[in-house]
Structure 1
């Protein structure tokens, strides 16, 4: 370690770094750093001025940054000096001083500081001022929404489509209405949040729920386009901007838009096998319509082709394999669930997910995990497993444990009585809802 502190540098090329404690530790040893241009490292290097930021997807920029630090002795020494000089900014004493100074500033408008005031009384005054300020802000900004005392989350993610890629109206309506009927006592008691996840576009989701006479405001959050967009129905369908900013990192955007039709076709495919579906596209989701019967690349093959050209994204076949959604790398339905679990402070073990026996190509990711999953038999007739990977690759049973205690299969159908019975067994219904 002494050798490293005199001669080396520290690199953290992670795709996403919320803070970067390893950077702080490296700086304390006198190491200049090369870190990802995302999250915490941006703020750390701005404060310490002791290294270089890189795009973790760009191997060339990583190489150039490392060579620059190694080759330029003066730059290396300057970064080392700046780091050791400024590292105190991330010490606990400094953190406490900053925190208290912000608290002091935030309460100045509510009460004037009396230098003779007893410290205990002053502390009480600060706490009361903060609580008053928090209670007065309310829920005016959807990006700051938290579900209060709700400590359970129900997610509905049944991919109900017919053979033409249209919504299977009867199945979709029955699943949504019956699940809502089962969990409504929990909603009324204020303990349960409900999230709808779908591969439909935002506009298609609104139209479907309106056609089925489902009150969209009963959902706390609606996730569309395979996890790339998140909306609050109760807040005038306001987009969740924090999630958008999180999901957009390293999104190739327009650079990938025209590339997909060329790469998604097989070598001897026709020109119109896959074309852009403009009405379902958004800034974070490019949708493509697949011609029925067309031979197209499977997800693992298409992903490999794109990665070889430095294009990283999530790919999801939906609508019975007749639509391809291309979304940011950090966007997916499972990622949206994890994001809200952390944001709202709801443990994943207290989440129940309703799915069909099959679904979009993100189905396996959606079902796996520590959350409870209730599989509704007969709810989904057409899945997309055949478009996920080649026949020589691993099988679904290699990924999903057939005897997992977290997955329960409805024995008969997706009727509400069956849902209720299975929901009771998987979640201890009374404790979950009340």
Structure 2
């Protein structure tokens, strides 16, 4: 299971610490434990980001942390060591993937399934499941298109949304994940119908609804004579502490809409007369030290208290531990109170289950998961989160009617146990996995890799056109250098050309045959002087590939014309691309996704467009070869200059972009670590990079090279 962002550990989860440490972190930990308890599950690895940061607990620096028998947290390096927001992680996800593959290569067994959580993990999950040839399961938790729609409706500009949330990258990752996932796990039917339906690769047949569970041992009804220590932290705020409590518990996020609840309370004299309001919104020591979103939320809360003069009626405890949460629910239930979730939208609403299992009636937003929860449990009322009068009337309806309150309380306790236990969730999950097509992971090629290659500890990879070709003198110098180091380095050419075309060009320019030839943009791999083809790779990339259907749809797109027959192959459709007439690549991808065609579209040099199987690319082929030769990616130098080379250069490889690069296609690489932008052209740029990285010596970036941020 992949859950890249946030602070994840087995005990004392810091829920509500920030926007990234919310319900998802608790969900994945609980799911890992529940699955590990299932008799058919041997091992669950919950993989997240490793952090070494003095501002947070050292717990997050441990690579391995046991969760329970059969489950553990695995932490993998991902970009900077310090804790950063998920929106800043995108350029580091390729490195995270490479580091995770290296970890998996050291294990006795590879996973049978990969389950990604949220868009960033989906990006990693697609690449990992493609490499391992195992099914991908995905849970979105929240979706970019839905979030953008709601932000636009609130008047936030598109530029601000993009600059703040990197929304285009997120949505593209979500589309790619949906195109590759065999199963998408949802908490509610509403999530499928109103959120996933916004996506081009929306496929209802791959969607399953498996509501999350709740820990019914921790979240239980109040027992008579039970003493709750947290009550002292609440009572000190209140003039009449024995009144029923209206409880809102969430992270301090404006989307949780706490201010509207407070305004509803402030504008209802009747509600103030019969109940107090308890707001538990994360932990704080100094509001000024919180991130901007949380800071604004708390400032709005304090201003609302002052505006409506709610002193003595509203409790705002500063700190609580995760183990306090069950007792907070029981305290509110013992007072005869109500739990309110006024969020603008709630993907599921785990706090609703926790509150209902504790005996609290619910008043919840009508947007999202609460619809299913309240329908299944008959323990509360749905409201428009922007209608303050409706919110206050719903709360009063329970507090003022003892019989109604008691019935909702009893229903919640009984029906959460019946419908939302973790054991039931794990059973439904494993039953769903059994319905998926299974495919064995990649095995060692039937044609052994030439033995001589296995003793070389580094690799030089380059394209032909615009890299090797263009400066004959520099090419001769590079060829002689590689020959002189042939016992140390594996020489690889990765080209978009078909094999016969590549061989003809190499012969014309006196380029010796490489140790490995990756041709057709990563669709074919050949080893040694005899050019023995890797048939396992050919079988691997054929997964879900429908070239005739892809060609049929691309034939109707203006600005695309087929290249010569010799440039086509069963696993590569090649076109001339006129960007002035053709739709954008994003629009072409949209067309293919709308017709459920899983395809990798690659553009290069501003004039070529190729359609490949989703598992095929230069970067994926390179990583497959590196595994066969057991060469670490940080000992591989990749030279490129067009969009077709990008995924070879991202991640843990050393890379050089030669000076004659196609600027627009590689512009996104400017901020990626371990990519050197050469001042010289063609093969001279490669020689420059060999010197820069001391490729035949230390084989790394110079120590004085400052990391990019």
Aligned-pair CA distance for 1:305: 1.7
- Tell me, in whole angstroms, the C-alpha distance in 1 between the residues paired with 2:603 and 2:447: 30
Of 325, 328, 350, the match for 2:610: 325
| Aligned residue in 2 for 1:238 | 532
For residue 203 of structure 1, the aligned residue among 473, 490, 500 is 500
Task: Supply the distance in 1 between the matched residues of 2:553 and 2:663 (Cα, whole angstroms).
Answer: 22
Q: Alpha-carbon deviation of 1:354? A: 1.9
Deviation by residue 1:306-340 (Cα, 9 ceiling, x = unmatched): 1121111111223x333321111111111111111
What is the aligned partner in structure 1 of residue 568 from structure 2?
Answer: 281
Distance between the aligned counterparts of 1:21 and 1:157, measured in 2? 34
CA distance in 2, matches of 1:412, 1:64: 53
Which secondary structure state, in structure 1, belongs to the residue aligned with residue 589 of structure 2?
helix
Q: 1:227 aligns with which of 497, 501, 522?
A: 522
Structure scoring higher RCO (CA < 8 A, sep ≥ 6) equals 1
> 1:368 aligns to what?
650
Alpha-carbon distance, 1:399 to partner: 4.7
1:335-384 residue CA offsets vs partner (Å, 9 max, x unmatched): 111111222211111111122xx42x234333322211133324x5xx38
CA shift for structure 1 position 262: 1.5
Q: For residue 156 of structure 1, report the CA deviation from its aligned partner.
A: 0.9
Deviation at 1:282, TM superposition (A): 0.8
Cα offset, 1:159, TM superposition: 3.9
2:632 maps to which of 344, 347, 350: 347
State the SS of the aligned residue for 2:555: helix
Which whole-Å CA distance do the structure 1 matches of 2:34 and 2:681 have between them? Answer: 63
Structure 1 pair 151/39, CA: closer, same or farther in 2 (3 Å)?
A: same
Sort the Cα spacing of 1:325 and 1:425 in 2 relative to 1 into closer, same or farther, 3 A: same
Gaps of at least 5 residues in structure 2 are: 1-29, 42-103, 105-109, 116-128, 137-180, 184-200, 211-423, 432-443, 700-709
What corresponds to 2:594 in structure 1? 308
Residue 170 of structure 1 corresponds to 470
Q: Is the 8 A contact 1:182 1:419 kept in 2?
A: no
Cα gap change, 1:368/1:158 in structure 2, threshold over 3 Å: closer, same or farther?
Answer: farther
Return the TM-score normalized by structure 1: 0.57
Distance 1:334 1:140 in 2: 18
Q: In the aligned structure 1, how far is the partner of 2:537 from the partner of 2:445?
A: 17
Partners of 1:368 and 1:400 within 8 A in 2: no
Q: Secondary structure at the match of 1:142?
A: coil
Distance in 2 between the 1:255 and 1:353 partners?
33
- Could you list the runs of 5+ residues in structure 1 that have no partner in the other structure? 11-16, 24-35, 43-53, 67-76, 85-138, 162-167, 389-395
Alignment of 1:116-127 (within 5 A): none
SS of 1:230's partner is strand
Distance change in 2, residues 1:208/1:427 (3 Å):
same
Q: Quote the offset at 1:284 in angstroms.
A: 0.7
Contact conserved, 2:456 with 2:488, CA < 8 A, in 1? Answer: yes
Question: 2:621 corresponds to which residue?
Answer: 336
Following TM superposition, by how much is the alpha carbon of 1:205 offset from its aligned partner in structure 2, in angstroms? 0.6
TM-score with structure 2 setting the length: 0.37
Select 1:149's aligned residue among 455, 465, 479.
Answer: 455
Q: Deviations over 1:115-139 (max 9, x none)?
A: xxxxxxxxxxxxxxxxxxxxxxxx9
The secondary structure found in structure 2 opposite 1:346 is coil
1:297 aligns with 2:441: no
Name the SS of the counterpart of 2:614 in structure 1.
coil
Q: Does the CA-based 8 Å contact 1:157-1:354 persist in structure 2?
A: yes
Equivalents in 1 of 2:622, 2:475: separation in Å? 18
Q: Does 1:408 align with 2:693?
A: no
Superposed CA RMSD: 4.5
- Name the CA shift for 1:301/1:344 in 2 (closer, same or farther; >3 Å): same
Deviation at 1:274, TM superposition (A): 1.8
In the alignment, is the contact (CA less than 8 A) between 2:457 and 2:489 conserved in 1? Answer: yes
Q: 1:41 to 1:337 in 2, by over 3 A?
A: closer
8 Å Cα contact 1:220-1:232 kept in structure 2: yes
- Shift in Å, 1:209: 0.8
